[in-house]
Amino acid sequence: MGVMRRYTLIDLFSGCGGLSRGFEDSGRFRSIFAVESDPDAAETYRRNFGDHVAQSLIEDVATFPTADVVVGGPPCQGFSPLNRDAVGFERRGLWREYLRALKQATPRMFLMENVPELLKSSEYATFKKLAESELGYRVEGRVLNAADYGVPQRRRRAIVIGSRIGPVSWPEPTHRDPEDLTRPDLPPWRTFRDAVAGLPLRPNGKDWHRARNPRPESIRRYKAVPRDGGDRFAMQRNLDRAGLGHLVPRCWRNKPTGTTDVFGRLWWDRPAYTIRTEFYKPEKGRYLHPTAHRPITVREAARCMSFPDDFILPEEQSMTSIARQIGNAVPCLLAQRLAEHMAAELDSHAENAPEAAVAAAA
């Protein structure tokens, strides 16, 4: 049996480290440098991976070390269809910093993650053109659903892979939509029930499995939402029938269609919907527990993102900060599947690998 190589990794815009965790969990990569501007996220990264994270704006990093692979997800607010107020548009140009990192680190492969709208943007078109014409990469982007790779969450994201060692290829899905009968060899998507297995239904306050303290009127709204998939329209009807119509915000009554996920419950036997940065607020989406009268906890959300329980989420940081880090992350299991595939590609071209860039595993 041949020696298994381990490859070096740089994580740009690392956040708390979802990509790095997935790549390290593959057993094939070792993170050597990361950069993250948010102090809390950088501290979370440091506690999980070590002191090689630079807490700074990427523009302030003078030099990037050489590495086999560069990964990272530039801030996505500027591309998100939910961003009606144009927040973060000034950060849409950070792909140029990603390109600068590629020039300095000279990786043989790279991976970029963002919202699907990235692939239709002029910024991506320019990035792709320059990465191909000036740096010699073959670049391809696809929209992947994390649920297809074992993550108990329906989360569609643009994944861009660049390669200087051959054509770009993609990992095969490991799971399938249960309604898709064309791949009976694959197990169905993992569900919210799978994700939270072993956690007490009543939050115990440990490891971020904490209950919030909603106002009594909020709890009454929760109770009016039917179990296992109910939505705000059913809640409104139930409140009206109970003579509690005053608990229905006027803005909802004036919007009789759309936003069906607001104040919606998750289903036990389906994946979670996309975990965003304010999943602890039911008014932001389908974030109510399937049966309990509460939003999902931070620990439940982390499980839905496939963060293992041993991933350190600092207890002294605020819930707002930790939730933002979780919602902005790449699901660890999706990252691991991509890492395994990229490692296999690198292995197949190992004869071209610089000796200094790989280390034999013990």
Active site members: 76
Q: Is the Cβ–Cβ distance between 220 and 310 less than 8 Å?
A: no
Round to whole Å and give the CA distance between 95 and 104. 14
Residue 33: closest CA among 103, 101, 96: 101
What residue has token string 């998750």?
A: 266
Length of the chain: 362
76 CB-near residues (< 8 Å, 6+ apart): 114, 115, 118, 328
Region of 27 please: left (phi>0), alpha (psi -120 to 50) or beta. Answer: left
Q: Is 295 helix (H, G, I), strand (E, B) or coil?
A: strand
What residues contact residue 77 under an 8 Å CB cut-off, 6+ apart? 83, 87, 88, 89, 91
The region, left, alpha or beta by phi > 0 then psi within -120 to 50, assigned to residue 325 is alpha
* Cα 31 to Cα 24: distance, rounded to the nearest angstrom: 7
- Environment class of 330 (CB within 10 Å of its CB; exposed 0-12, middle 13-18, buried 19+): buried
CB-based contact 218:226 (threshold 8 Å): no
How far apart CA 113 and CA 75 sit, in angstroms, is 10
Token pair for 203: 């939050």
CA nearest to 338, candidates 154, 146, 53: 146
3-class secondary structure, 72: strand
Residue 264: how many CB atoms within 10 A of its CB? 23
How far is residue 157's CA from residue 159's CA, in Å, rounded to a whole number? 6
